[in-house]
Amino acid sequence: MQKLYRSGEPLLNEVYQTQVPTNVVAFWNLGQSGILLKGKLDDGWICIDPYLTSSIEETNPQSEFKRAFSPLLKPAMLKDIDGILVTHEHDDHLDLATIKELAQVSTDTTFILPAPSDPLIGHGLSNAEIHLAKANQAFSVKGFNISPVPAAHTTYEVDEKNDHLYLGYFIEVNGIRIYHSGDTVITPLLIEKVKAFKPDVAFLPINGGDFFRTSRGIIGNMSFREAADFSVAVGVDLVVPIHFDMFPTNRENPAYFVDYLFHQYPAQKFHMMVPGERFIYHK
């Protein structure tokens, strides 16, 4: 297993002890697409797409999706968190094992799932506080103002109620605008929406897709090149690549992303995070 920068109690203590002033947000990389966000004390803290178990490979030992590093936190360690946001139902984003364990110990956490995930509520989540997220219908979790945005993974898909299966999230907290794309490719609609939102920080996947992964049922994402081009096209201040580090058969070398930015967009701010790292963004 890969060595971690910070995990367990030291990581959790850092989250609790981090004090965030005005016009600042702190965030931590939990691996894959997992991002923990913290605003001022009265804003609280939320987490997006936490995969904090090894449930995929434990459920199916033949799965090619085997973690390159151990979970940074145990799900129950997030018992005080205000919200968990899920972008879509794939197991590395909606990990029911993580959600169920957390729901057993937390009474104040709101679990935000895409509306088509409603049938999953009966699987151990019936007593949890659930918010079914629908594209373009804004809501709040404590000091976090959140608006779901449709994602194309790799096409826009809706259920019989016309609710999108795949979502990203526009998040505003403490004067900072954040876009977490979830899993998506780029579309003209996405460029239009994100450009209008004017994010300060964007978390974007860079693992891309190809014929052979697609033939094995692995659905594609932005490539490193597309994520860089997209960041510049929509006017992101700081771009943070995600979805490149956890599964050896479905990841990308982030050095390619950095190299492409260096040659094509040397003025574009970026940060490549390691699992367990904290970043403090000051506007």
- Give the pLDDT confidence score for residue 126 in this predicted structure: 64
**Residue 84 buriedness (CB in 10 A; 0-12 / 13-18 / 19+):** buried
- Give the pLDDT confidence score for residue 69 in this predicted structure: 96
- Residue 54 sits at φ, ψ, to 5 deg, of -115, 35
Cβ–Cβ under 8 Å, residues 75 and 96:
no
List beta partners, residue 172.
145, 177
| Single-letter code of the amino acid located at 165 | L
- Give the pLDDT confidence score for residue 226 in this predicted structure: 98
| Single-letter code of the amino acid located at 15 | V
DSSP 147: E
Task: Per-residue pLDDT tens, the chain, 283 aa: give them.
Answer: 788 999 999 999 999 999 999 999 999 999 999 999 999 999 999 999 999 999 999 999 999 999 999 999 999 999 999 999 999 999 999 999 999 999 999 989 999 999 998 776 666 676 678 899 999 999 999 999 999 999 999 999 999 999 999 999 999 999 999 999 999 999 999 999 999 999 999 999 999 999 999 999 989 999 999 999 999 999 999 999 999 999 999 999 999 999 999 999 999 999 999 999 999 999 8
Chain segment 98-141, per-residue pLDDT in tens: 999 999 999 899 999 999 987 766 666 766 788 999 999 999 99
* Region for residue 74 given its phi and psi (left: phi exceeds 0; alpha: psi -120 to 50; beta: otherwise): beta
Residue linked to tokens 């936490």: 50
Name the CATH topology of 8-282: Metallo-beta-lactamase; Chain A (3.60.15)
Tokens of 121: 């509520």
Domain residues of the chain, as ranges? 8-282
Overall size of the chain counted in residues: 283
- Give the pLDDT confidence score for residue 14 in this predicted structure: 98
Say how far residue 124 (Cα) sits from the centre of its chain. 23
- Give the pLDDT confidence score for residue 255 in this predicted structure: 96
- Give the pLDDT confidence score for residue 206 in this predicted structure: 98
Q: What is the pTM of this model?
A: 0.96
- Give the pLDDT confidence score for residue 3 in this predicted structure: 86
b/e sequence 200-232, b meaning 16+ C-beta within 10 Å: bbbbbbbbbbeeebeeeebbbbbbbebbbbbbe
| Gap between the Cα atoms of 268 and 47, Å rounded | 26
In this prediction, what percent of the chain has a pLDDT beyond 70? 97
Tokens of 265: 């967009």
CA-to-CA separations, 49 to 22, 30, 36, 113, 242, in angstroms, rounded: 26, 9, 9, 10, 11
Chain segment 129-172, per-residue pLDDT in tens: 889 999 999 999 999 999 999 999 999 999 999 999 999 999 99
